[in-house]
Chains A and B, each alone.
Chain A
Amino acid sequence: QKEVEQNSGPLSVPEGAIASLNCTYSDRVSQSFFWYRQYSGKSPELIMSIYSNGDKEDGRFTAQLNKASQYVSLLIRDSQPSDSATYLCAVNKNSGYALNFGKGTSLLVTP
């Protein structure tokens, strides 16, 4: 079983819509969950982290965590063409600080 799974996409949404990105993980002891954004030809950069069940909002971004279902999601409200990128879900390994990354979901926001 893959440790962190994401739908590779591409996920296409119109400008102004809500983009919903999903991630499941296999390690039940994981405590730290992250969303990184990677533009084409660039390095990943952290968007959000979440540690507790529920929702965490930061501007247009909302991270959602459900540890019982081993599920993390990222919602992007009022999507903009500049949000077009690959979104990487990451989960800490073995309760430590090294991360397992998913393969990423490609998001395309069309004007």
Chain B
Amino acid sequence: DVKVTQSSRYLVKRTGEKVFLECVQDMDHENMFWYRQDPGLGLRLIYFSYDVKMKEKGDIPEGYSVSREKKERFSLILESASTNQTSMYLCASRQSIPTDTQYFGPGTRLTVL
């Protein structure tokens, strides 16, 4: 079974703090994604990575950066957390064969006070 894990289930941070969210997959997938999910706005792509050290901006990259130093790990960084970054953050890892499937982690509920 594909397993995608995220470092924290719940996280509370203060405005201005630097926040690291980590995601690890165990299936040697090349492609990994970070989304945020908000009521009424749905699932929105922040950044994705198609290989180690490679990254692409998604639809809402402002205020975020990412790091992928190893294939299995994809980190999302909030350089200076703000209250409007309070959200559910979901990481996903993509299998292309035999079926194109994104496997999601359990999510991190981040609250920025």
Q: A99-B102, A103-B40 are in contact. Are A43 and B45 (CB under 8 A)?
A: no
For B56, what are the chain A residues with a Cβ–Cβ distance below 8 Å?
98
Complex Cα distance, B101 from A46, in Å, reads 7
For A43, what are the chain B residues with a Cβ–Cβ distance below 8 Å?
90, 104-107
Interface-central residue, B41, B90, B104, by most chain A CB under 10 Å: B104
Complex Cα distance, B41 from A100, in Å, reads 12
For B40, what are the chain A residues with a Cβ–Cβ distance below 8 Å?
103
Assess whether B42 is in contact with A104, with CB atoms less than 8 Å apart: yes
Assess whether A103 is in contact with B42, with CB atoms less than 8 Å apart: yes
For A103, what are the chain B residues with a Cβ–Cβ distance below 8 Å?
40-42
Complex Cα distance, B100 from A101, in Å, reads 15
Name the CB-closest residue of A to B94: A97
Assess whether B100 is in contact with A98, with CB atoms less than 8 Å apart: no
Assess whether B105 is in contact with A98, with CB atoms less than 8 Å apart: no
* B96 shortest CB reach to chain A, Å: 7
For B59, what are the chain A residues with a Cβ–Cβ distance below 8 Å?
100
List CB contacts (< 8 Å) of A16-69 with chain B: 32, 34, 36, 42-46, 49
Given known contacts A88-B43, A100-B45, what 15 new A-B pairs fall within 8 Å (CB)? A32-B100, A43-B106, A43-B107, A44-B102, A44-B104, A45-B104, A97-B31, A97-B96, A97-B100, A98-B33, A98-B48, A101-B42, A101-B44, A103-B42, A104-B42
Q: What are some 16 contacts across the A-B interface (CB < 8 A)?
A: A42-B106, A43-B104, A43-B107, A44-B102, A44-B104, A46-B102, A49-B99, A88-B43, A97-B100, A98-B48, A98-B58, A100-B45, A100-B59, A101-B35, A101-B42, A103-B41
